Amino acid sequence: MNLYPLLMAPSFRHGEETPWGGHLLRDALMKDAPEDAVGESLEISDLPGHESTVANGPHAGKPLSRMIELWGEALTGVKDGEFPLLLKLLDPVMPLSVQVHPDDVFAAAHEDGLCGKTEAWIILNAEPGGQIIYGVDTDGEPLEKIVSEGRLKEHLRFQSVLPGDVYYIPGGMIHALCEGVMAYEIQQTSQLTYRFWDWDRVDENGRARELHIEKALGACKPELDLKKIEGTTVLCKGGSRTYYISDNHFELCRLNLSGKMPLERGRMLFLTPLTPCVLRWGDEEMTLNAFDSVLVPAALEDVALEGETKVLMSSLPDREALREELGYRAENVAGLVD
């Protein structure tokens, strides 16, 4: 089995799938995207109909599902089950629908045993005044009453954002990206989204997108009161790492690269550099461009990054090891301290 890092070519959601999408994924991040409005670049994805494909090496052109069949646990680090994570880049020129995702418990009970959807955003770009919706203030009123009376907008929490900000979105959190805010999104592999409100938008035929009020109310946790994640930084060979999130589903950190930084083995890694750098494994190397997305197999040995840049890294969690590494600073990492 000749393992190597997989440079992934994304699948795109565009046109009627993402009527709120823009053109920066193609024009700024140099993705090979369609010419119409593109809202999502599914960078590392095993979603049926939206699989990413290998763009390098002897397996170029193969979909991710085929690589899972070929390499199995050597790729993912887990013995069986569905591919656990999904990485996206998002570019809205209009606000996304105000929505909520179910947690695993709600999804198992109401969606034929499917997993829920916890996710996180790193803000990549924000136009002046850029905002997200991040929670709701009910002022003691039942959310069901607020929604039924058409007053949800006045109770939403609008949060101003800047590039580099990190937000954790567990299942049950009301949220939405607003116009002009590009984001890196790591999430559980799930398509479960319940729309509360879609800004009263209709298409050219006067049709509104479907809402899911009953399920949204059932899945929502209006009591969630979360803040931007500051994270905690530790020094390491070749620079430092800033850890933001490590819950039961994924770990999210930023590698602050200043030289040659070895990467651990045993866990599948998603790497996205913000400017070019070099990825080395054994006697081989590959130059990564800004916003390339690379899947490093769990069993690949002697892997390192080299350069002067920042690299976003997502993986399955190893919470026990991270708690031990961070000590008292573990409380600064979302999801790490129960």
Q: How far does the chain reach from its first CA to its final CA, in angstroms?
A: 39
The DSSP secondary structure of 94-161, one letter per residue, reads SPPPEEE---HHHHHHHTTT-----EEEEEEEE-TT-EEEEEE--TTS-HHHHHHTT-HHHHEEEEE-
User: Would you state the structure tokens that stand for residue 255, as one six-digit string?
Assistant: 């590698």
Task: Give the residue from 18, 46, 45 showing the smallest Cα distance to 34.
Answer: 18
pLDDT at 306 over 80: yes
What is the Cα–Cα distance from 61 to 156, expressed in whole angstroms? 44
Give the model confidence (pLDDT) of 191-247 as tens digits.
Answer: 999 999 999 988 888 888 899 999 999 999 999 999 999 999 999 999 999 999 999
What is the Cα–Cα distance from 55 to 219, expressed in whole angstroms? 38
Element (H, E) at 182: strand 181-188
Largest Cα span, the chain:
64
Looking at the chain, the whole-number percentage of residues with pLDDT higher than 90 is 92
What is the Cα–Cα distance from 338 to 331, expressed in whole angstroms? 9
* Predicted pLDDT at 206: 85
* Predicted pLDDT at 131: 98
pLDDT band with cut points at 50, 70 and 90 for residue 122: very high
pTM metric for this prediction: 0.96
Question: Which domains are delineated in the chain?
Answer: 6-219 (2.60.120.10), 232-332 (2.60.120.10)
Task: Give the residue from 86, 85, 91 showing the smallest Cα distance to 18.
Answer: 91
Angle at 31 between CA 28 and CA 34, to 5 degrees: 105
Mean pLDDT rounded to a whole number for the chain: 96
Give the model confidence (pLDDT) of 84-106 as tens digits.
Answer: 999 999 999 999 999 999 999 99
Across the range 125-136, mean pLDDT stands at: 96
Which residues does residue 197 pair with via DSSP β-bridges, in sequence order? 98
Handedness of CA 12, 17, 18, 23 (dihedral sign): positive
What is the Cα–Cα distance from 175 to 168, expressed in whole angstroms? 10
pLDDT at 319 over 90: yes
Phi, psi (rounded to 5 degrees) for 146: -60, -45
User: Would you state the structure tokens that stand for residue 174, as one six-digit string?
Assistant: 């009301």
Burial of 318 (0-12, 13-18, 19+ CB in 10 A): middle
Give the model confidence (pLDDT) of 275-299 as tens digits.
Answer: 999 999 999 999 999 999 999 999 9
How much helix, strand and coil, in percent to the nearest 5, is found in the chain? 20, 40, 45
What is the Cα–Cα distance from 146 to 164, expressed in whole angstroms? 33
What is the Cα–Cα distance from 23 to 205, expressed in whole angstroms? 24
Name residue, tokens 């559980």. Answer: 188
What is the Cα–Cα distance from 116 to 192, expressed in whole angstroms? 7
